[in-house]
C-alpha cells in the first residue's frame, strides 16, 4: 500500500519546514557571531578616537577583519547548528571528499582562473580594455598580490561556508540540488547589493556565479574545490588591477582600463558587471554541470 497523497504532501512540507528552520537559525547565528567578532576587532584595531571609521572607509585591513570574522562566525555556526543541531556530518557538508589530482584547492583555483582570464581577454579584444603602466615595480606588484590573496582568501572561504555549506546541503536534501542552487545563489547575489557601482546586470552575473560555485561544490573535493574556484576568480581579477565585485584593489606596476561600453565590459563595477562575464561564467557553469554528470554516472 502507498500513503495517501495528503499524508505525502504533509511529510514533504514538514521536511521543508524543518530544513528552512535550520537554515534560518544557521544564518541568524552566523551573522550574529560575525557582527560581534567584527565589532570587537574594529574596536581593538581601529583608531582610538573613531574606531568605526575603519568600516566607513574600507581598506585591506577592514576587508581582512570582515573575512576572518565571517569565517570564524559561520564556522562556529556550522558546528553549532549544522553538526550539533541538524546532525550533518563532514561528508554531508563535503568537507571530507575525495580530491582531484593536485589537490582540491589548486584544482578549484584553476577552475576559477580560466573564466576570469577569458573575461579580461575578451574585454581587450571586443571592448577596447587595455593595460597601462602604473607606478611601482614588478617586485612591488608580486608583494601586493601576495597580501591581496591573503585578504581575499578568508572572504572567499567564509562565503562558501555561508552559502554552499549548511544551507545548500539542507535545502538540496528536501528540494533537490537544482532548486537549492537557485535559492542559495539568489541569496549570494543579494548579499552583494550594497557593493559599489552595482548594476542590474552585475546582480544577475553574481547569481550565475553563485550557480557556478554551487556546482563546483559537487565536484570532487567538495567545498575546497568551490573555495578554490571562488578565490581563483577573485584573485585573477585583482591581479589584473580590475575591481572585484565593485571593490577596487590598488595594485602597483599596471593599471587596467575597462574600455566600454560598460554593459559589455562591466565598467566601474569590474568585469563581473558586463555581458562578457555573463557568457564566460555561464560557460564555466555548463562545463561544471557536465563534469558532475560524468563523475556521478
Model confidence, pTM: 0.93
* Inside any domain, residue 119: yes
Q: pLDDT tens across 149-206, in order?
A: 999 999 999 999 999 999 999 999 999 999 999 999 999 999 999 999 999 999 999 9
**Rounded (5°) CA angle 291-282-192:** 115
As a whole number, the mean pLDDT across the chain is 91
- Positive or negative: CA dihedral 156, 167, 171, 203: negative
* Inside any domain, residue 21: no
Cα–Cα distance measured from residue 69 to residue 76, given in angstroms and rounded to the nearest whole number = 11
| Cis preceding-peptide flag for 261 (omega within 30 of 0) | yes
Mean pLDDT over residues 229-255, rounded?
A: 95
* Inside any domain, residue 64: no
* Inside any domain, residue 143: yes
Cα–Cα distance measured from residue 39 to residue 215, given in angstroms and rounded to the nearest whole number = 33
Query: How many structural domains does the chain have?
Result: 1
The conformational region for residue 270 under phi > 0 = left, psi -120 to 50 = alpha, else beta, is left
Mean pLDDT over residues 53-58, rounded?
A: 58
Residue 42: per-residue pLDDT: 80
* Inside any domain, residue 80: no
Instruction: Examine the pLDDT at 94 and tell me if it is beyond 70.
Output: yes
Residue 6: per-residue pLDDT: 53
Residue 7: per-residue pLDDT: 46
Instruction: Examine the pLDDT at 120 and tell me if it is beyond 90.
Output: yes
Cell readout for 32 is 550574529
pLDDT band at 112 (very low <50, low <70, confident <90, very high): very high
| DSSP state for residue 93 in the 8-state scheme | T
* Inside any domain, residue 37: no
Cα–Cα distance measured from residue 8 to residue 22, given in angstroms and rounded to the nearest whole number = 21
Domain of residue 256, residue span: 91-296
* Inside any domain, residue 53: no
Mean pLDDT over residues 90-116, rounded?
A: 92
Long-range CB contacts (within 8 A, 24+) of 37-45: 37/68, 37/69, 37/72, 37/73, 38/65, 38/66, 38/69, 38/70, 41/65, 41/68, 41/69
* Inside any domain, residue 23: no
Which DSSP helix (H) or strand (E) runs through 257?
Answer: strand 254-257
Instruction: Examine the pLDDT at 1 and tell me if it is beyond 50.
Output: no
Amino acid at each position: 500500500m502507498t500513503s495517501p497523497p495528503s499524508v505525502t504532501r504533509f511529510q514533504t512540507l514538514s521536511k521543508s519546514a524543518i530544513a528552512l528552520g535550520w537554515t534560518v537559525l544557521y544564518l541568524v547565528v552566523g551573522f550574529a557571531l560575525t557582527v560581534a567578532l567584527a565589532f570587537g576587532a574594529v574596536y581593538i584595531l581601529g583608531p582610538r578616537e573613531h574606531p568605526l571609521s575603519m568600516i566607513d572607509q574600507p581598506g585591506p585591513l577592514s576587508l581582512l577583519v570582515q573575512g576572518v570574522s565571517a569565517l570564524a562566525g559561520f564556522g562556529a555556526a556550522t558546528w553549532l547548528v549544522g553538526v550539533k543541531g541538524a546532525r550533518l556530518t563532514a561528508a554531508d557538508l563535503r568537507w571530507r571528499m575525495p580530491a582531484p589530482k593536485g589537490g582540491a584547492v589548486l584544482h578549484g583555483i584553476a577552475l576559477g582562473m580560466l573564466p576570469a582570464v577569458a573575461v579580461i581577454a575578451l574585454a581587450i579584444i571586443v571592448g577596447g580594455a587595455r593595460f597601462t603602466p602604473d607606478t611601482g615595480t614588478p617586485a612591488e606588484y608580486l608583494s601586493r598580490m601576495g597580501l591581496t590573496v591573503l585578504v581575499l582568501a578568508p572572504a572567499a572561504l567564509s562565503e562558501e561556508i555561508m552559502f554552499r555549506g549548511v544551507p545548500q546541503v539542507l535545502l538540496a536534501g528536501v528540494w533537490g540540488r537544482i532548486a537549492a542552487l537557485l535559492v542559495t545563489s539568489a541569496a549570494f547575489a543579494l548579499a552583494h547589493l550594497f557593493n559599489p557601482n552595482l548594476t542590474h546586470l552585475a546582480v544577475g552575473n553574481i547569481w550565475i556565479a553563485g550557480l557556478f560555485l554551487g556546482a563546483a561544490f559537487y565536484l570532487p573535493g567538495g567545498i575546497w574545490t568551490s573555495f578554490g574556484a571562488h578565490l581563483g576568480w577573485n584573485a585573477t581579477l585583482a591581479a589584473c588591477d580590475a575591481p572585484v565585485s565593485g571593490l577596487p584593489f590598488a595594485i602597483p606596476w599596471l593599471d587596467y582600463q575597462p574600455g566600454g561600453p560598460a554593459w559589455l565590459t562591466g565598467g566601474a563595477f569590474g568585469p563581473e558587471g558586463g555581458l562578457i562575464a555573463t557568457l564566460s561564467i555561464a560557460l564555466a557553469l555548463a562545463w561544471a554541470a557536465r563534469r558532475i554528470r560524468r563523475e556521478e554516472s
